[in-house]
Structure 1
Amino acid sequence: MKVRNTILKITASAAAAGALTWLTVLGGASSVPDAAIPATQSAAGEGPGFAIEDGAYPNAEKILAEQKIKLKSGNGHIQLTECTGAPELMQIFSHENEKVCFQVTGDKGYLSLEIPAVFGVKGNNYSAQVDMSVGSEEKTFTIDKNSWTAVGETADDQGRDFMLLEIRTSK
């Protein structure tokens, strides 16, 4: 009989606590003082409470310091990788960095970057274009699939050093 009374008391306490919680959640009266209820704030004016992909290239500062390649942003389908000679890699040749390689994935790729003094690109099995600049002049070069394309200095009748600014790829 004593066990039964204890169970009833526990059940009644739990039910009361549950009812109090529901009243608080629904905005009803509560016997809990306002000071004991944690304050909440609206997140509406603070911006989103979740991560938003901004397109910034991961570890860009470290790559710039170590390899002198400024990777700005992209859609994630053109990634800097080790040059292994694999035919699926896009290879960029420059006087500053010698050879820089990129793995291309997906249907469309985009990468904003800066590599100075680029003079050649070896394409892969993607259609590709590169945007380059020299001074205030900008030029777009179409890259041949799976072969070498002269760009920048080697395609310029004045032999000027061009900066690689963008790579765009599509299947």
Structure 2
Amino acid sequence: MNMKARGAVLRIVGAAVGAGALTWAAVIGGVTGSSGTADIATKSIADEGPGYAIEDFAYPNADKILAEQKIKLKSGDGHILLAQCTGAPELMEVFSHQNEKICFRVTGDKGYLSLEIPAVFGIKGNAYSSQVNMTTGTEEKSFTVSKDSWTAVGETADEQGRDFMLLEIRTSK
């Protein structure tokens, strides 16, 4: 190897050794305890276990549904889903002065949905036992929805004919 090549190799090796020394000094300096000795703790990451996924049960695409259909769907267990109103007997139909008819498909043994639909006055039940919770002003009221038939709720079931907002739907087989 000629002198010029040997000098280049030595410069590269020297730079690498210097960079390694600086890195080592930074690592030791960052983990040095108050006594000045290295306090490097080793532990298995697997001992910590995986992180937790937190499900908030928020209704998928709720913002889009609110903007397009004026229906505020908050959260639920995934067993009561907004559906296209086709007249199918398995659908629950909610009637509102603001939205006309809104339909829900119910699946599973039981379901829960938190929502806000104003001015609800009637609900056609399906094969599930259903209960709805509604509010007018500060008063809350629950209604049992008849299976496979129409049930007067809210305004039509209120002696004073007040507007009620639908807040929750609960179903069970």
For the aligned pair, the TM-score class normalised by the smaller chain equals 0.7 to 0.9
For residue 52 of structure 1, report the CA deviation from its aligned partner. Answer: 2.6
Q: Of residues 109, 117, 132 in structure 2, which corresponds to 1:130?
A: 132
Q: Of residues 115, 118, 121 in structure 1, which corresponds to 2:117?
A: 115
For residue 50 of structure 1, report the CA deviation from its aligned partner. Answer: 4.8
TM-score by structure 1 length? 0.72
For residue 51 of structure 1, report the CA deviation from its aligned partner. Answer: 3.1
Per-residue CA deviations over 1:16-61 (Å, capped at 9, x if unaligned) read xxxxxxxxxxxxxxxxx7589xxxxx99xxxx73533211000000
In structure 2, give the amino acid aligned to 1:151. V
In structure 2, give the amino acid aligned to 1:136. T
For residue 142 of structure 1, report the CA deviation from its aligned partner. Answer: 0.1
In structure 1, give the amino acid aligned to 2:140. E
Structure 2: which 5+ residue stretches go unaligned? Answer: 1-22, 28-43
Task: Say whether residues 1:168 and 2:155 are aligned partners.
Answer: no
For residue 141 of structure 1, report the CA deviation from its aligned partner. Answer: 0.1
In structure 1, give the amino acid aligned to 2:136. V
1:100 aligns to what?
102
Q: How does 1:66-77 map to 2 (within 5 A)?
A: 66-77=68-79
Q: Of residues 86, 89, 92 in structure 1, which corresponds to 2:88?
A: 86
Larger Rg: 2
For residue 122 of structure 1, report the CA deviation from its aligned partner. Answer: 0.2
How many equivalent residue pairs? Answer: 132
Per-residue CA deviations over 1:125-146 (Å, capped at 9, x if unaligned) read 0000000000000000000000
Structure 1: which 5+ residue stretches go unaligned? Answer: 1-32, 37-41
1-side partners of 2:165 and 2:171: how far apart? 18
In structure 1, give the amino acid aligned to 2:96. S
2-side partners of 1:52 and 1:81: how far apart? 27
2-side partners of 1:115 and 1:51: how far apart? 30
